[in-house]
Chain A
Amino acid sequence: MKRRKFLILGSVLGLSSSLMGKNNSIVFSKSLKSAEKTIQSVQQHLFPEGSQIPSARSMNVTQFLLETITHASYDKDIRVFVIEGAEELESREEGKFTSLSNEEKERALRAYEETHYGSNWLSRIMTLTMEGMFSDPIYGSNVKEAGWKALHAYGGVPRPTTRYIKL
């Protein structure tokens, strides 16, 4: 499976041509800024308040996601895909996704999930959010180990003292 093709398959905007360009840092940080609100809103919908696991709002998951995808260890193609998937969602919802009601967001995301591309993107956002919630708190999410406490599952010792094994 070719990852690039897999990622861009089914994008309504036909974003494939801009894929490489997005790795240009100025273009990239601009797109990142504009996608941030959408991503945050999606994360809050997937991980709401009042669940048996902590909410997106309480766990700094958006900050975690942005720091994670811009870190050197993160796959640069997927980094671009995360941003473009948010742009695609906004374009489907005429730029209003973040201001939709809960019911409308549910409809919009389930409809997005019907597309191969949207399903991949949602799955990626969920993975990135869980990575924050259930990784060591040193990465800035999983605040006070609330993610671990909810699952009665704790990271092993020794715990990391730096991010990404910077010794």
Chain B
Amino acid sequence: MKYDVVIVGSGASGGAVAYTLCKAGYKVAVLEKGRLIKRDEFSKDELAYARRDIVTPNLFEEYHTIEEKIEGKWVATPTHESGWSFWNGNIVGGSSNLMSGMLHRMHPDDFRLKSKYGEIKGANIVDWPISYEELEPYYALAEELVGITGKYEKHLYEPPRSTADFPQPPTKENAVVKLIDKSCKALDIVPLVTPRAVLSRDKGHRNACYYSNFCGSYGCSSGAKGSSRESMIKPALATGNLTLMSNTCVKTLHVGKKDEVEYAVVVDTVTGKEKKISAKLFVVAAQAHESARLLLNSANRYHPHGLANSSGELGKNLIFSAGGSGQGELHKESLKHIKFEDLMTTGLFVNRSILDWYFIDHWWDGKFKGGSVEFMFEHQNIISRANKNNEEDGKLVWGKALGERLTKRFTESKSIRFEIFNDWLPNDDCFVALDETHKDKYGMPVGKLRLEAHPQDVKVGKYIAQKCERVLEEMGAKNIYSSISSAPPQNLVAGGCRFGDDPKTSVLNKYCQAHDVPNLFVADASFMPTGGSVPYTWTIYANALRVAEHIVQKLQKKPLS
């Protein structure tokens, strides 16, 4: 059987493309390396989901190598040595199953960073080949399909929107938001309601949030979270046009003729059997670093340096989200403005963000691109919270002292946290290539990641962290600290297949179609030349919906621009 379209990966972008194509009547196969975990099979098992590699590959079987500069030389260490996994949710629906769902649109100026803010030495900043206006209708569509809930408030750095407000009101909030709002206002900061990919009301086959207290890192058992599995794959399956193939790992894409992918070579991860899957058109959506790896591994005599790599740009300019996080403790005896029992109520959200520092233009600090801030409680995982509180002055606390310490920590305080998202400047020392010696259990070369950050990233992060610490102080929090580093968050990855108008400097065109191979598209975050200063997920959904609409037009043989 030859499908109309084969999609590699079932996460946010793969799901959105499958949804659009299946609705338009095309026969689609989605190839997903991981297994299917259904809504009613998800549990809040901390040991399995949060502490073991259960929904990601065992690192001794599948891994990456990470390059670090040691004494002037780049040295690659396999991730099974370091324990630093670069896998994110290898199950049907991908890591969107496990997100916290705090989402924002990118700002119009994020699409023209170079024009607006100029070059930064050592950073490969370019403008996008599309504008915010071109993507806006798809942000709106994603908002509807994914079920992003919130409350629109006008703000200098809040991107304009074509619809008046969110389709559903925000999820229920913990009383701590009153304290955040009051403290922000005292400091002349504007707190905004965070748009969240979690339903506050039932929507079609999905039920409203039931406030489980364990949202991020876990699958959702009501369908409220706007995972690709719930919001895209399920309705796509309902059309009868989707063949969902889980436990199916794609090894290479085969190009028989110079400019056409003919089939995917896949391996059944359970039986180890290989087969070929053919289609008219192929969409790669395996998450940025793995999408580039697949194309590099698909090199052949026509494409000796990797598929769609005539520019030499494939795998280059990998980006993450820069920034970091900070935290403080709200103590029972010193809590202001709200009741302690209300603070301790579990499950409710802290839907607050700050966009005031998205762009900085200050008489003393200067003019530069800043970032966004999210507030949340410390993750409610019990084992990890207990395990974090077993040290004092560098020594382990044990015995009865440990019992006292833990019960006090758990019953007389709660930690409030902020996370900062700012641009990870693309640079020459942040990319994915193929490792020359290491291979995974399927015999394919693993991705080798070099992950250097531009010094500006940490500078910006620290600038914002200082301001956030002031908010926590105003809230009356104790033991405040923040940690801004140049270590990349492995779950917020993009770039590696830049889109652009010039085939000499980009891998994809403005529709995320490979310049070199017309029946090949890359739909995930790989296309992003710069990442904005917000989590990527909303942009990934929106762009994939845009790309999918273009593919539909192409398949209908309408003239392409």
Chain A interface size range = 35 or more
A27 adjacent to chain B (CB < 8 Å): no
Interface residues of A in 14-64 (CB under 8 A from B): 45-48, 50-53
Determine how close the nearest CB of chain A comes to the CB of B230; give it in whole angstroms.
16
A selection of 22 A-B contacts at a CB cut-off of 8 Å is A3-B80, A4-B81, A51-B399, A51-B400, A52-B403, A53-B406, A113-B396, A126-B387, A126-B396, A130-B387, A134-B386, A150-B407, A151-B406, A156-B212, A157-B212, A159-B45, A163-B48, A164-B45, A164-B48, A165-B37, A167-B35, A167-B37
Determine how close the nearest CB of chain A comes to the CB of B262; give it in whole angstroms.
35
Stretch at the interface among B49-57, B323-331, B454-462, B545-553: B49-57
Given A51-B402, A126-B390, A131-B383; A165-B212 close (CB under 8 Å): no
5 additional A-B pairs beyond A45-B399, A130-B387, A164-B54, beta carbons within 8 Å, are: A45-B398, A148-B382, A153-B410, A156-B212, A163-B48
A75 adjacent to chain B (CB < 8 Å): yes
Q: Which 3 A-B pairs have the closest CB atoms?
A: A156-B44, A51-B403, A52-B403
Contacts of A148 in B (CB 8 A): 382
A70 adjacent to chain B (CB < 8 Å): no
B428 adjacent to chain A (CB < 8 Å): no
Residue of A whose beta carbon sits closest to that of B60: A76
B42 adjacent to chain A (CB < 8 Å): yes
B380 adjacent to chain A (CB < 8 Å): yes
Residue of B whose beta carbon sits closest to that of A55: B403
B77, A2: Cβ atoms closer than 8 Å: yes
Residue of A whose beta carbon sits closest to that of B55: A165
Interface residues of B in 16-75 (CB under 8 A from A): 35, 37, 40-49, 51-55, 58-60
In Å, the complex CA distance between A167 and B35 comes to: 10
In Å, the complex CA distance between A148 and B402 comes to: 15
Contact with B along A122-156 (1 / 0, CB 8 A): 11001100110111101100000001101111111
Given A46-B402, A52-B407, A53-B402; A158-B395 close (CB under 8 Å): no
B83, A75: Cβ atoms closer than 8 Å: yes
B162 adjacent to chain A (CB < 8 Å): no
B221, A158: Cβ atoms closer than 8 Å: yes
A53, B382: Cβ atoms closer than 8 Å: no
A95 adjacent to chain B (CB < 8 Å): no
A161 adjacent to chain B (CB < 8 Å): yes
Contacts of B43 in A (CB 8 A): 158-161, 165
A151, B383: Cβ atoms closer than 8 Å: no
B396, A73: Cβ atoms closer than 8 Å: no
Residue from B60, B398, B400 in contact with A126 in the complex, judged by beta carbons closer than 8 Å: B398
B82 adjacent to chain A (CB < 8 Å): yes
In Å, the complex CA distance between A151 and B221 comes to: 25
Residue of B whose beta carbon sits closest to that of A75: B83
Determine how close the nearest CB of chain B comes to the CB of A71; give it in whole angstroms.
8
Residue from A46, A50, A119 in contact with B398 in the complex, judged by beta carbons closer than 8 Å: A46
Contacts of A147 in B (CB 8 A): 382
Given A47-B398, A156-B44; A73-B54 close (CB under 8 Å): yes
B263 adjacent to chain A (CB < 8 Å): no
Determine how close the nearest CB of chain B comes to the CB of A159; give it in whole angstroms.
6
B410, A135: Cβ atoms closer than 8 Å: no
B390, A151: Cβ atoms closer than 8 Å: no
Contacts of B380 in A (CB 8 A): 153, 156
A131, B212: Cβ atoms closer than 8 Å: no
A3, B82: Cβ atoms closer than 8 Å: yes
Contact with A along B80-119 (1 / 0, CB 8 A): 1111000000000000000000000000000000000000
Contacts of A165 in B (CB 8 A): 37, 41, 43, 45, 48-49, 54-55
In Å, the complex CA distance between A122 and B390 comes to: 11
Contacts of A151 in B (CB 8 A): 382, 386, 406-407, 410-411
Residue of B whose beta carbon sits closest to that of A148: B382
Residue of A whose beta carbon sits closest to that of B43: A160
Give the one of B45, B81, B385 with max A CB within 10 A. Answer: B45
B218 adjacent to chain A (CB < 8 Å): yes
In Å, the complex CA distance between A40 and B398 comes to: 15
Contacts of A75 in B (CB 8 A): 59, 83
In Å, the complex CA distance between A163 and B410 comes to: 26
Given A3-B83, A134-B383; A155-B46 close (CB under 8 Å): yes
Residue of A whose beta carbon sits closest to that of B91: A165
Contacts of B45 in A (CB 8 A): 135-136, 138, 155, 159-160, 164-165
Contact with B along A74-105 (1 / 0, CB 8 A): 11100000000000000000000000000000
B214 adjacent to chain A (CB < 8 Å): yes
Contacts of A127 in B (CB 8 A): 387
